[in-house]
Amino acid sequence: MAKELRTKLGSMEYDGLITGLNPPTRVEGGVIAKLSTATVYKRGTLLAKSAKDGLLHILGEDPPAPASGETADTYTPDCILCDDTEVGTADDTPVDVYAAGCFDPEKVTVAEGYTITQADKDKLRSYSIVFKAATPAP
């Protein structure tokens, strides 16, 4: 019996994405919109929610131009991807996302050429997503 209590069940490599205990990390479900070219989104990808359909897109991606007579879509910073995820071209992809927590701003990913703005940080803070750089080990 005592031997069973000491059996190693697994291990995890610390990647530095989560940098604090407050606010507490909260995981929820989301759905990433299908893409025109299949891509792997990495853990820590900052996602924005579409105002039109509620689907998630990588922050910094421009919404498609509206069709004649339609209103333009907007993307609002919303959450952070929990795990590496392949996003395909046929169907939208259900994913686990961090809906709250404390994260290292150097470890999150956005669309190429995009820089996280203060307005993005303010919006995420309203959802209890905050950024704090990891403290280096002594």
Task: Tell me which residue of 83, 84, 82, 62 sits closest to 74, measured CA to CA.
Answer: 62
Q: What is the mean pLDDT of the chain?
A: 88
Give the span between the Cα atoms of 46 and 98, in whole angstroms: 10
Q: Is the pLDDT of residue 7 over 80?
A: no
What is the average per-residue pLDDT within 10-34?
Answer: 88
The predicted model scores a pTM of 0.85
Q: Which residues contact 75 (CB under 8 A, 6 or more apart)?
A: 48, 49, 50, 51, 57, 59, 61, 63
Please, what sign has the CA dihedral across residues 106, 128, 85, 61?
Answer: negative
pLDDT at 91: 93
Q: What is the pLDDT of residues 103-125, one digit of tens each?
A: 999 999 999 999 999 999 999 99
Instruction: Fill in the amino acid letter for 133.
Output: A
